[in-house]
Amino acid sequence: MDATRLMLGGPVLPTLLRLAAPNVLGLFAATVVIGFDGFIVGRLGADALAGVAVVLPLAMLMLHMSAGGLGGSTTAVVARALGAGDTALATRLAQHALVLGLIASLLFTALFATPLVYRAMGAQGAVLHEAGRYAGVLFAGAAAIWGVNVLAGVARGAGHMGAAALALLGTTALHLLLCPLLVFGAGPVPALGVAGAAASTVTTNAVAALALLAWLSRPGRRVRLLGVPWSLGREGFRPILRIALPSALNPLLSNGSIAFATAYVAGFGSLAIAGYGIAARLEYILVPVAFGVGSALTAMVATNLGAGQAPRAKRVAWTGAALVWALTGTIGLVAALWPQLWMAAFSADPAVQAAGAGYLRVVGGAYGFFGLGLALFFASQGAGRLLWPLVASALRLLVVGLGGWLALHALGAGPQALYGVVAASLALMGLTLAWATWRSNWGAAPR
């Protein structure tokens, strides 16, 4: 049974697990990269850690917009077209999505490759210098990151979860070798410091993008990018943008929440921001865990709706959401109870460890709601219904931005109060989207 027929007629949970397994494996590799970068950069000192922590919200914004935003939207439109039996349309949409990814990458290069943004976020002195060096390289190579994530979205939409996962595994293996070499140097290779970590990220993503493009262009693929005629036009961009624009706005709101929290924590000094940066990496790791299941959710929901099977699409959504809630909730509980397991892996400084542990003890208990919201975002993406995910993310941003300001400036509270606000924002996001999904009618045309 091919992937599309399996998504349409196979048992829901086994099919979801079968599709999600390679994604989870591949995205576990991406999780290793996030943790590994923190480990390597941590050896350069607190200023380097703090500099990368300042850039991290915008770096993750790019990752989320390219993978979960445009990449996930690409999965949705390709899967819906294949569910309706239109392979020619699926190919045209994939080609248009790749063009959109390249355009978006140029915008990120223009906006975030200079240190001006990071000065506005509160970075100063040595921290600002390290942030500028890291961002200058990372965003100069934005095309590699957008390209690989759009191409992975095409593969997932066609049901080829293994190909996308293999690209991530290869990227990780190469990065584990290249990153320490470029950061610390060896022999004729100079030590580049934090810029070396960014250079490794760009290089490995570029290699993976080229490999995926070659694989998707082989004869016999249901969705093929090269070796077939290209016909670009407004009608090809419209269905992608209808999902991609609100999908891209969602991580913008989510990372805006993180940027607010980062700016607030920066007011407590470099040790606090270094500890927060390590602790917040665990939150970023939850995103790949949720994405592993969520990308399968997007494909299954879109395929079933394309074939007119709305009740099955809704059942798929709730099954995947429950799975992600259990996974992320367990990780959060462990982090809240034993935060030193995470913090000690990245820094030996007791002050940095204590600062990050304070964050995890408060926020870790809300990670299950965070995962629930992420899973239902991907399901909503497959359904082409992005209003309520945007509302939920906007509520999270409002709570962190306004609540954090009230806690720190109006009430004069300390970091723990801010962390309580962050935890409340995650719970509100997940519960809002669960309520909206429960009451929505996926059998009707999306508005």
Q: pLDDT digit string (tens) for 382-426?
A: 898 889 999 999 999 999 999 989 988 888 777 888 889 999 999
Q: How far is the C-alpha of 49 from the C-alpha of 428, rounded, in Å?
A: 30
Inter-CA distances, 391 with 190, 296, 301, 416, Å: 48, 23, 21, 26
Q: How far is the C-alpha of 156 from the C-alpha of 303, rounded, in Å?
A: 11
pLDDT band at 112 (very low <50, low <70, confident <90, very high): very high
Which of the residue ranges 19-33, 103-117, 413-427 would you say has the lowest mean pLDDT? 19-33
Nearest Cα to Cα of residue 106 among 58, 74, 62: 62
- Token digits for 79? 């899967």
pLDDT of residue 366: 93
H or E stretch at 325? helix 310-337
pLDDT of residue 177: 92
Q: How far is the C-alpha of 226 from the C-alpha of 170, rounded, in Å?
A: 22
Residue 71, SS3? helix
- Token digits for 382? 């497959």
- pLDDT tens-digit profile of 357-394? 888 999 999 999 999 999 999 999 889 888 999 999 99
Nearest Cα to Cα of residue 429 among 258, 185, 242, 214: 258
What's 364's DSSP letter?
Answer: G
Inter-CA distances, 105 with 170, 207, 240, 250, Å: 22, 17, 16, 18
Q: How far is the C-alpha of 247 from the C-alpha of 407, rounded, in Å?
A: 30
Q: Is residue 261 over pLDDT 60?
A: yes
pTM for the full predicted model: 0.79
- pLDDT tens-digit profile of 135-186? 999 999 999 999 999 999 999 988 888 888 888 888 888 999 999 999 998 8
pLDDT of residue 121: 79
pLDDT band at 265 (very low <50, low <70, confident <90, very high): confident
